[in-house]
Amino acid sequence: FILNDHLQRFDASHKDILQELHDFDSIISNIDRNMEQKRAMTRRLMEGILSNDLRYITESKRRGDIARIVENKRKWSLNKFINRYGFELFKGIRVWLLTPEVVSDIIPMEMGLFDLLIFDEASQMYVEKGIPSIYRAKKVVIAGDHKQLRPSSLGTGRVTYDEDEDDEEEMMNGALEEESLLDLARARYDSILLNFHYRSRYEELIAFSNYAFYGGKLYVSPNIVQPERPPIEVIKVDGTWVDRHNEAEADKVVELLREFFLTRQNRETVGIITFNVSQRDLVYDRIEEYAATDPAFATAVSEEMKRFDNGEDVGLFVKNIESVQGDERDVIIFSVAYAKNEDGKLMQRFGWLNMRGGENRLNVAISRAKKKIFIVDSIEPEDLQVDGLKSDGPRILKKYLQYAKAVSDGNTPLAHSILQSFIPSRDEYADEIGSETPVMNRVYTALVRKGYTVEKNIGIGGYTIDLAVKQDNRFILGIECDSHIYSLSKDTRERDYHRQKYLESRGWHIHRVWTPGMYKNPEAEISKIVTAIEHAELAP
């Protein structure tokens, strides 16, 4: 009687909230319609603005002068041309894609010339390289990932300061203590985390980076369909480390490349990443040698090397680990190269991994694949002796190789354990992941009794789906309860709208179960789930 009385009073006090929850789907539909209308209006507005702006060039009194200069065999320098016709150019061309160096070379030193300046890959830019561009802008957006590559001082001619300096110079030097433009921005201003991951089709490809570098805070869509072969495959060879390269691994990499060209079904793209320059050069040489004896392979390599898709370079590449930031391919083939030498000893020399920020290079490399990773190596992870090292790079490499082996072997519990080792047990986030609630268990039991195959806590990324209904080898419906996971996200719009839209964009059908509704009328809530399952079964 007491419990029933509490529930009745709970129901009365939350009647308005329940009504809002019941209207959730209609709210989402209205938001979708409004967003589509906004996009259409924005597109028409921009087309009108750009068309009108072009008139500054096409209808300019100096149009003839501009045309003659452009057509003349003796070209003006860009500086001279922009200084003379800058008014027409900046009115007629609204978007400029330039490097900071080019901005300094050709764009007038005019404060606030651009309404908005966007820096991309700001983690790789020294502070002083960005200041001239910032001076020319009214507003600035600095985008980058501090867990990826840092600036390289090689050939940059960085500014340095003497110990004896006045107050103004000391303030300037304080800014330069932040190595990259991104570091300075993060130290001085609030930042926004773009935490929805879109690149990888299978969560195993990005899960390690998510936990090792981002504390498990990325939204990663659980797999709807489990692939026939693991998304990460480790291939062992009996290689030897000689002159900083490994011939057996290079041969296996080319063998995999040949097999890839023969068996791919949708013209997937491919890239090869090596852990040093010597191994990269050896792989290049091996590709050329095999191509000389196999015309079909030679043709495939030639076509892939110069392949573009909608103007984007998606061709075959062979790069060392420091050169792949910004690249992505469907399939990535790694050659680790580390192996015992001719004397049977494994030299514990980790090169770039031991350098400051070496672990960031690893993060970049292992997050380039959309569909598949092959790792060709000659050692076991346990062969790497990393205890006592000051840098994080070698330790994270060892854990990654352990994780990759677990995924390759289908040892999901071990893979999960390795990922969780990066999250402190006292972390609220780690405590909540994978936990179950009474509502979740009630829904699970009710659906199983009705004959459905249901799994709990779907996904190895931090933000799992509470329940999912499985049919054959595919999840047809994800069920989210307003439980522990939602307490981790304080922004209601992100929780209720953006996350659901993200999952739907990755192919999921999502149904929500509200705790008050389950207590008020559980039969009605289960009936709604069954209806959602039936609709999902009919969906393409």
User: What is the distance between the alpha carbons of residues 501 and 27, in angstroms, rounded to a whole number?
Assistant: 13
Strand-pair partners of 139: 116
User: What is the distance between the alpha carbons of residues 27 and 34, in angstroms, rounded to a whole number?
Assistant: 11
Tens of pLDDT, residue by residue over 25-47, are: 567 677 778 888 888 898 888 88
What is the mean predicted confidence (pLDDT) over 1-10? 53
User: Mean pLDDT lowest for which of 169-178, 297-306, 341-350, 434-443?
Assistant: 169-178
Query: Does position 174 have pLDDT exceeding 50, yes or no?
Result: no
Q: What angle do CA 412, 389, 212 make, to 5 degrees?
A: 35
Q: Which is nearest to 61 in space by CA: 96, 87, 95? A: 87
pLDDT confidence band for 237 (50 / 70 / 90): very high
Joined tokens for residue 259 = 């097999």
Cα 308 to Cα 35, 59, 539, distances in angstroms: 32, 36, 34
DSSP string across 396-433: HHHHHHHHHHHHHHT-HHHHHHHHHTTS-TT-HHHHHT
Q: Which is nearest to 226 in space by CA: 21, 496, 412, 416? A: 412
User: What is the distance between the alpha carbons of residues 395 and 405, in angstroms, rounded to a whole number?
Assistant: 16
Which residues, 6+ apart, have CB-to-CB distance to 420 below 8 Å?
211, 430
User: What is the distance between the alpha carbons of residues 36 and 363, in angstroms, rounded to a whole number?
Assistant: 36
User: Mean pLDDT lowest for which of 76-90, 163-177, 330-344, 435-449?
Assistant: 163-177
| HSE-CB for 41 with a 13 A CA cutoff | 6
In this prediction, residue 28 carries a pLDDT of 67
User: Mean pLDDT lowest for which of 4-13, 169-178, 402-411?
Assistant: 169-178
In this prediction, residue 171 carries a pLDDT of 38
Three-state DSSP class for 163? coil
User: What is the distance between the alpha carbons of residues 127 and 502, in angstroms, rounded to a whole number?
Assistant: 34
Which residues, 6+ apart, have CB-to-CB distance to 153 below 8 Å?
none
What is the mean predicted confidence (pLDDT) over 310-336? 93
What is the mean predicted confidence (pLDDT) over 373-392? 91
Q: Are strands 329-335 and 317-320 parallel, antiparallel or unpaired?
A: unpaired
Tens of pLDDT, residue by residue over 114-141, are: 999 999 999 999 999 999 999 999 999 9
Q: Are 422 and 216 in contact (CB under 8 A)?
A: yes
Q: Which is nearest to 250 in space by CA: 263, 231, 237? A: 237
Name the helix (H) or strand (E) containing 500. helix 499-505
Query: Does position 249 have pLDDT exceeding 70, yes or no?
Result: yes
User: Mean pLDDT lowest for which of 177-191, 249-263, 405-419, 489-503?
Assistant: 489-503
In this prediction, residue 426 carries a pLDDT of 46
In this prediction, residue 11 carries a pLDDT of 53
Tens of pLDDT, residue by residue over 446-497, are: 999 999 999 999 998 667 899 999 999 899 999 998 755 555 545 555 566 7
**Structural domains present in the chain:** 96-188 (no CATH), 229-411 (3.40.50.300)
What is the mean predicted confidence (pLDDT) over 261-283? 95
Joined tokens for residue 504 = 């739907």
The CA dihedral of 194, 199, 203, 209, to the nearest 10 degrees, is -60
